[in-house]
Amino acid sequence: MRYALRVDANQTEVISALEAAGAKVLVIGQPVDLLVGLPDGKKFAFFEIKDGSKPPSARKKTKVQEKFFAMFPGYPICLVDSPECALRHLRILQT
């Protein structure tokens, strides 16, 4: 039996900020929340959104996410907790 994926409360705001900055965003849900096409059209990154209003203990990566992050060291996988954080990551990735 499949269960509905939980969506972080700030996901809509993060997606809106990324799209306003020119990124293409696809919600993939698992193992991370988003596949983000950078505005230059030549790079992709994965974004995992955590709800920044929750305590740190509630923002931990799942076991599946831990495994995914470990499988791809050095690849652009961003852990973000706000629209501002997502935009900072986007700017860094564009350099």
Q: What is the per-residue pLDDT across 57-93, written as a single tens digit (0 to 9) for each?
A: 888 999 999 999 999 999 999 999 999 999 999 999 9
8, 80 in Cβ contact below 8 A? no
Given a cut of 90, is residue 2 above it in pLDDT? no
Q: How far apart are CA 34 and CA 27, in angstroms?
A: 5
What is d(CA 82, CA 95) in angstroms, rounded to the nearest whole number?
21
In b/e form, how buried is each residue of 39-56, taking b as 16+ CB within 10 angstroms? eeeeeebbbbbbbbeeee
Question: In this predicted model, what pLDDT tens digit does every residue of 21-53 receive, in sequence order?
Answer: 999 999 999 999 999 999 988 899 999 999 988
CA distance 88 to 79: 11
pLDDT band at 1; cut points 50, 70, 90:
very low
